[in-house]
Amino acid sequence: MASSETPKKTASLFQSLGTIKNWQKEKHGIIVFTSNGKLRIQAYDQGTLRVTITRNDQFEDFSYSVVKKPSSVNFEVVEQKKSIRLVTRQMVCEVQKDPARIRFLDKKDQVLNEDDPAFGTAWMNNEVTTYKVLQEGERFLGLGEKTGNLDRRGSGYTNWNTEKFSFYETGYV
């Protein structure tokens, strides 16, 4: 394609992270660059890792739920043929290279949490989706103001957020 031509836009609404192109180590973890975005894995302590994914130039550090800052944690990064592993004393975060998929393991290499091999994390238009493998015995409890059983395993739900912080403002009361 000549440099003056513009690339054709794809008709696909689904865009996965793609494949890993390269990565770099940082003070609190690693940044992994993929064909369609990038992800950052930060160690908050030996058993707590935070994954942030974006298609933008910069990561958004704002979070309503994560108020702690990463601490000085001893970790090592091991690059293997098919993956990159960030290893602490308590756990391992393994990022598969092609396609980019994330899984967390304990020190005995038992899977704690892993991306679905077919879908992983992707964007559908401007919405981010992450598909996970449901581990044996894993449960989903609560999910906010929904009726029914407390254990939500095996059911589907739609969740949404609103910036109205009062029942009176939303009209529910």
Per DSSP, the residues of 107-140 read: TT--EEEEB-TTT-EEEETTEEEE-BPPPTT---
Residue 172: the pLDDT is 55
**151, part of any domain:** yes
Residue 169: the pLDDT is 56
For residue 19 the two structure tokens come to: 């494949």
Q: What is the pTM of this model?
A: 0.77
What's the domain count of the chain? Answer: 1
Distance separating alpha carbons of residues 95 and 79, to the nearest angstrom: 10
Residue 4: the pLDDT is 47
**2, part of any domain:** no
Closest listed residue to residue 93, CA positions, set 135, 32, 18: 32
**Cβ atoms of 111 and 135 closer than 8 Å:** yes
**1, part of any domain:** no
The number of angstroms, rounded, from the C-alpha of 59 to the middle of its chain's C-alpha atoms is 13
**103, part of any domain:** yes
- Extended beta strands in the chain, E state: 14-16, 20-25, 29-34, 38-45, 48-54, 76-79, 83-87, 91-96, 101-106, 111-114, 121-124, 127-130
Distance separating alpha carbons of residues 79 and 84, to the nearest angstrom: 4
Length of the chain: 173
| Domain hosting residue 30, numbered range | 14-170
Question: Residue 148: what residue type?
Answer: G
Domain containing residue 29: CATH number? 2.60.40.1760
**71, part of any domain:** yes
Residue 127: the pLDDT is 84
**111, part of any domain:** yes
**72, part of any domain:** yes
Query: pLDDT under 50 in the chain at which residues?
Result: 1-4, 6-8
Distance separating alpha carbons of residues 43 and 73, to the nearest angstrom: 6
Express each pLDDT in 75-124 by its tens digit.
999 999 999 999 999 999 999 999 999 999 999 999 999 999 999 999 98
N-terminal to C-terminal alpha carbon distance within the chain: 60
